[in-house]
Structure formats: structure tokens, C-alpha cells
């Protein structure tokens, strides 16, 4: 082949430089997409690996006291001592000496519940840790509300102070100090150093004006919900759907119960509006205010038609004008919350779902055991406790 022939061959296969650039860019985009897809899958696999141990642990520990089989086994106990034996043999509950007082049982159950959540938290990956740090605030806030109610009630009808458990910022020294409170203002001053003093101090003028503890309880719930909502921005996107699903339902249920309680006392809308927590899955605050304009609690429930909440609460709605059993509403919504948490465990079974289900179930396990103990201490048949329990089989 002569040099002329070689030049002719090269010229025949020459490519336009612009076309070469376009082909190069296309290849670069393809490589980036392949790498991005790979790292996307890698991130998913990494999250699954990080959640493998804590998920396996909570599944192994389980939540037996929200199952009907375990509840019936406890209910069939022929005596209180036999009940304690069945509880101990389950291997999953707290250790309670036979001669423990009811107040002592309350303390043991609260401590057991809190420690169980802490144990789970010790193995949590950073991807979901901010949510559970905020979640513990729910129970911390409940203790503050219990303290508020105890001091408030003492000024109206003196009685035994409420039991306050050691949770989060609530130390033994603070519990002793709370017990010495003379009134609400004094109690708030004793909460210095905790995150609750600021919201309570802000709500105190409204408490004085209305003589209702509602503004103070609402201030605590709003603070807790604010932290829960803030945690959504600090968790990994991979676990965010499960967190959003829980916090949304929790906010809705809290608001529905607020509306029902307030309507049963005929409180004004202007006041109730201040108590609504943000972040609901179905209902924004403007819609909740509309719902509250209903004449009666039963009418509030009817305004929920079209939502899952109406589906579970519908059996409680009687003929127009009839009263609504608030206790039955709370029990029904508790069962609904357990059902939702169980559903999350199935949908997000490799990451946050089982952890949320475990934590929510532990709360209701504590509640169920408390009901059993109260039934026993009141010398009633333990089977009488069954209709009041929150069980997985009790929801659909």
C-alpha cells in the first residue's frame, strides 16, 4: 500500500470533531448514570446492613404483651401470685416482687419501659437516631403533664401526688422537688434547667386567665411535637417515609382527642386552636378548626368521614345528640396506632419499621400490664382487664 492509499483510507473514516465531542459527552453521561445507580444501590445496601442488628434484636425480643395469646395466659391466672409467675416465665417483662405496692409497680413499669427504649437506642444507626431521641420526649412530656395535673388537682381536691418516673431530664432530685411544689407557678420555677420551663412560662398567663390546665398541657405537647417534626429533617432519606408516616398519624390522633375533650367541655375555638399540634398526615390545622365548629363530639367524629380515623371510630358514633365515650375513643385510637405501627414494620421491614413498631408496642405493653395490676390490686378477676387492653388482634 502506497502512502497515497493510506491517506485515502484515513480520510474515508475521518469523523467530524463536533460529532466526536457529542459522542464523548454521551459516554460521560452514561458513565455518571451507571456510577450514580451503583452508589444508589450501595447506599440502600449500606442502610440495610446498618439496620440489620437492631432490627434482628427487636424481632428477637418481641412484644408479647400486645398479643392476645399472652394476654389470655395472664388473664387465666388463678391468683395474683400466679399472675406474677406467668409474667416472670414469659421472660420478656419486668421483674416485680410479690409484695410490691401498686405505686411500686407503677415505678417499675415506667422504668422498664424507658430502659427498654434506651437499650434499643444504644444500637441504633445514626440514620434514625434523631427521631428516637425526639420520640423519648413523648414520655418525658407525659411525666411533666402528670406533675402538672397532680399539683393542679391538689389545689382543687387534695390527694396523693402522682407518680413521676425518672425519664430523660426528670432526675430523682427533680422528682423530689416537684413533690414539694405548692402551686403551678412554683412547679414551673422548679423545672428550671429543663427544656419545658420556657413553653410552660409562656403559657402560664393563659392558665391564670382561664383557670384551666389545658394551656399548660398543650404547651408541653406542642414542644414535644415540635421536636418530633424537627427530627424529620435530621434522619436519612432512606428512613424518612416510615418516620413521616408515624409522626403524621401521631399528630392527627393527638389533635382528634384534643378536639373531643375540648368539645365535651364546650371550650371556645379561639382557645382550642392554640392547642393543635402541627404535622398531621390527614388534617391541617385550618381543617381541624373547621371540624371543631361541630355542635357535639359525635358530630366531630362524623366530620372525619372519608379518613381511616372515621373507619375505626364509626362504631362509637350513635344517633345524633347522643354522648360520646371519650375513654372508648382513646382506646380505639390507641389500637389504631398499634395497627399503624405494625403496618410500618411490614412495609419498611429492613430499616426503621420494626424499630418504630417495637417502641410503640412497648408503650402499650406497659399500659396493658398496668391495667392487669390495677385489676389485681382492686381484687377483681383478671379476665375483666381483657376488654380494655390494646392488642394486635384487636385491630384490623
Mean pLDDT value of segment 353-370: 95
Confidence of residue 45 (pLDDT cuts 50, 70, 90): low
C-alpha cell at 134: 425526639
Report the pLDDT value the prediction gives residue 118, as an integer from 0 to 100.
87
Calpha distance 290→218 (Å, rounded): 19
pLDDT of amino acid 247: 95
Helix, strand, coil percentages (3-state) for the chain, rounded to 5, are 70, 0, 30
The verdict on pTM exceeding 0.85 is no
- In this prediction, residues 190-201 reach a mean pLDDT of 93
DSSP-derived letter for residue 179 is H
283-342: pLDDT as tens digits: 999 999 999 998 888 899 999 999 999 999 998 886 555 678 899 999 999 999 999 999
d(C-alpha 78, C-alpha 83), whole Å = 7
Give me 378's grid cell.
382492686
Closest residue by Cα to residue 368 from 335, 395, 342: 335
pLDDT at 159 over 50: no
pLDDT tens, residue by residue, 245-255: 999 999 999 99
Q: How far is CA 291 from the centre of its chain?
A: 24
d(CA 138, CA 207): 22
Q: How far is CA 83 from CA 76, 308, 371, 386, in A?
A: 8, 37, 13, 14
Residue 31 is predicted with a pLDDT of: 56
Cell (9 digits) for 104? 411500686
- What pLDDT, on a 0 to 100 scale, did the predictor assign at position 305? 92
Range of weakest confidence among 36-40, 83-87, 285-289, 298-302? 36-40
Closest CA to 153 of 110, 216, 202: 216
Percent share of the chain, pLDDT over 70: 84
Q: Residue 396: what pLDDT?
A: 40
Least confident of 31-40, 51-60, 264-273, 287-296: 31-40
Section 225-251 average pLDDT: 93
- Check if the beta carbon of residue 285 is closer than 8 Å to that of residue 278: yes
Q: How confident is the model at residue 359 (pLDDT cuts 50, 70, 90)?
A: very high
Burial of 218 (0-12, 13-18, 19+ CB in 10 A): buried
Task: Find how far residue 307's CA is from the centre of its chain.
Answer: 20
Amino acid at each position: 500500500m502506497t502512502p497515497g492509499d493510506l491517506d485515502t483510507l484515513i480520510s474515508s473514516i475521518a469523523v467530524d470533531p463536533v460529532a466526536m465531542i457529542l459522542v464523548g459527552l454521551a459516554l460521560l453521561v452514561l458513565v455518571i448514570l451507571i456510577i450514580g445507580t451503583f452508589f444508589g444501590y450501595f447506599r440502600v445496601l449500606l442502610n440495610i446492613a446498618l439496620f440489620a442488628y437492631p432490627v434482628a434484636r427487636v424481632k428477637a425480643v418481641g412484644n408479647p404483651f400486645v398479643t392476645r395469646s399472652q394476654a389470655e395466659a395472664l388473664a387465666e391466672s388463678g391468683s395474683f401470685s400466679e399472675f406474677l409467675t406467668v409474667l416472670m416465665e414469659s421472660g420478656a417483662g419486668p421483674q416485680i416482687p410479690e409484695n410490691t405496692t401498686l405505686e411500686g409497680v407503677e415505678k417499675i413499669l415506667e422504668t422498664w419501659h424507658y430502659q427498654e427504649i434506651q437499650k434499643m437506642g444504644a444500637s441504633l444507626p445514626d440514620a434514625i437516631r434523631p427521631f428516637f431521641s425526639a420520640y423519648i420526649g413523648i414520655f418525658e412530656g407525659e411525666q411533666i403533664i402528670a406533675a402538672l395535673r397532680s399539683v393542679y388537682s391538689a389545689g382543687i381536691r387534695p390527694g396523693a401526688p402522682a407518680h413521676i418516673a425518672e425519664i430523660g431530664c426528670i432526675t430523682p432530685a427533680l422528682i423530689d422537688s416537684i413533690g414539694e411544689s405548692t402551686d403551678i407557678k412554683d412547679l414551673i420555677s422548679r423545672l428550671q434547667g429543663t427544656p419545658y420551663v420556657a413553653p410552660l412560662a409562656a403559657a402560664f398567663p393563659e392558665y391564670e386567665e382561664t383557670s384551666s390546665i389545658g394551656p399548660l398541657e398543650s404547651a408541653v405537647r406542642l414542644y414535644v411535637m415540635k421536636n418530633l417534626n424537627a427530627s424529620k429533617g435530621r434522619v436519612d432519606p432512606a428512613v424518612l417515609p416510615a418516620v413521616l408516616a408515624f409522626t403524621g398519624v401521631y399528630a392527627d390522633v393527638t389533635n382528634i382527642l384534643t378536639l373531643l375533650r375540648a368539645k365535651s367541655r364546650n371550650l371556645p375555638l379561639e382557645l382550642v386552636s392554640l392547642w393543635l399540634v402541627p404535622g398531621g398526615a390527614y388534617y391541617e390545622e385550618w381543617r381541624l378548626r373547621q371540624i371543631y365548629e361541630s355542635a357535639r363530639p359525635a358530630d366531630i367524629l362524623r366530620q372525619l368521614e372519608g379518613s381511616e380515623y372515621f373507619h375505626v371510630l364509626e362504631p362509637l358514633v350513635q344517633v345524633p345528640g347522643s354522648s360520646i365515650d371519650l375513654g372508648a375513643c382513646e382506646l380505639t385510637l390507641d389500637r389504631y396506632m398499634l395497627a399503624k405501627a405494625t403496618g410500618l414494620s411490614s412495609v419498611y421491614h429492613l430499616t426503621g419499621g420494626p424499630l418504630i413498631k417495637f417502641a410503640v408496642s412497648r408503650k402499650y405493653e406497659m399500659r396493658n400490664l398496668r391495667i392487669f395490676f390495677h385489676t389485681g390490686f382492686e381484687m377483681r378477676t383478671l379476665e375483666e382487664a381483657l376488654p380494655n387492653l390494646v392488642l394486635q388482634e384487636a385491630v384490623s
